Amino acid sequence: MRIGLDVSGGDFAPTANLDGLALAMDHLQESIFYLFGKEDEIKKHPSFIGLNKDRIVVVNAPETISYNDHPARAVFKKPKSSISVGLNWLSTRKIDVFASTGNTGAMLVGSIYKSTTIPGVVRPCITSTLPAINGDKTVLLDVGSNADCKADVLSQFAVLGSIYAKHVFSKKNPKVALLNIGEEETKGNLLTIAAHELLKHQEDINFIGNIEGRDIFSGKADVIVCDGFTGNIVLKQAEGIFSLMKQRGISDVYFDSFNYENYGGTPILGIRGNVIIGHGISNDIAIKNMLLHSYEVASSGLAKKIKKAFK
């Protein structure tokens, strides 16, 4: 497996990225890692010195896309950035997957233009993995890349999320729900009512109906569909709960599973290549888990399975 890592992306780059790589290399013994960033900075960094150089290729990318750069323009204005070069390598199949904790908007826009969208997919999206109280994992999508959606887009999110849950999280027949303000079909706004009508007639998913906010973490659904505006609020609320509990010194096995470090990153669903986006504040543990998940996503052939489903 050829795994690409953006070493320049994230709040704690390059130290956290390289330390996380060191942890991941112990688990992914047969993988080769391609590091995109400032070559001189990487090779002189203390965290790079002890790594197994036989399994590492450093690709020079002297420019950096910051969080202040405009997402739609940065990839083209900075062609030598770690994100641009990494996505170029992915699109030309020099690597199997590319992971970054850098500018999410730039990653999304760059992926759409360089890897291109799978034919039939209206809008690629990003997901989040939420811990259920019963120990399962629930896929929530979209969580921010599409703030405004139409009903047909939500119906596609249901298909994308179902394929992801099935092939990456080994759910045989994922239960798909629509996030709404009530369980009844007639509840909600114009968007959710129209989306419900489409979803209940989709034969390629296991749609179980509406789900309310109080049941998000119950494990009732394996996949929860919503627009990116709503999904991002849910995700930030979960992060806020975890942060508040830590501030108050409260330790709980279940709520500790809210820690973003455990999940590392999430794939962009609906593009031809395997692109993984991580949290900007990722530390070494989160980087390790992002790389492990990158391997899982690429090994599952997720992009190819989505392409087949949308043929």
- Six-digit token string for 247: 């501030």
134 & 247 share domain: yes
- Same domain for 57 and 83? yes
Residue 265 domain-assigned (yes or no) = no
**For the chain, what is the domain count?**
2
Stretch 36-65: mean pLDDT, rounded?
Answer: 95
Domain that holds residue 45: 1-121+270-311
- pTM: predicted TM-score of the whole model, two decimal places: 0.93
DSSP code at position 146: -
Whether residue 292 is contained in a domain is answered as yes
User: Does residue 9 sit in the same domain as residue 56?
Assistant: yes
- In a domain? residue 142: yes
Let me know whether 117 and 127 are in one domain: no
Question: Is 232 in the same domain as 243?
Answer: yes
Distance separating alpha carbons of residues 295 and 87, to the nearest angstrom: 17
pLDDT confidence of residue 68: 83
Token readout for 127 is 């997901």
CATH number at 188 reads 3.40.718.10
What's the rounded mean pLDDT across residues 93-104? 95
Q: Domain check: are 40 and 50 in the same one?
A: yes
Alpha helices in the chain (DSSP H): 15-25, 39-44, 46-49, 71-77, 82-91, 104-114, 151-168, 190-199, 228-247, 253-256, 284-300, 302-309
pLDDT of residue 304: 93
CA–CA gap between residue 306 and residue 6 (Å, rounded): 25
**CA-closest candidate to residue 286, choices 61, 38, 19, 103:** 19
Q: Tell me, yes or no, whether 126 and 256 share the same domain.
A: yes
Domain check: are 45 and 102 in the same one?
yes
Considering the domain boundaries, does residue 76 fall inside one?
A: yes
Report, as an integer, the average pLDDT of 104-109: 92
pLDDT, tens only, 218-248: 999 999 999 999 999 999 999 999 999 999 9
| 143 lies in the same domain as 227 | yes
